[in-house]
Amino acid sequence: MRKKETKEDSREIKENIAEKYSRVSRVISRFSKWISAWMDRILFSQRYGKLVALLLAFTNGFEIIRGHLRQMARPVKEVK
């Protein structure tokens, strides 16, 4: 009789965990959809178009500069 109770308890625990996981998954899904919609409104809005273009140009420029600095920091191999 004791084994039946533990199996039922085990099943109940598994169901509770699955329910909580499902709830957390739904919350994360809603949050990611909200963030995605917000980013779309800003990135593709005509109102913020110039600001977005300027920020992308700056980040691209910083990446180019960082690449050049990395290349300059490499030790030069001796040519024989």
- Indicate whether 29 pLDDT > 90: yes
Give the pLDDT confidence of 41-74 residue by residue, as tens digits: 888 888 888 988 899 899 988 888 888 888 777 7
Residue 76 has phi, psi (to 5 degrees) of: -85, 130
Separation between Cα atoms, residue 22 and residue 11, nearest integer Å:
16
Please give the pLDDT value at position 5: 65
Q: Which two tokens stand for residue 72?
A: 């300059």
Residue 34 binned pLDDT confidence (cut-offs 50, 70, 90): very high
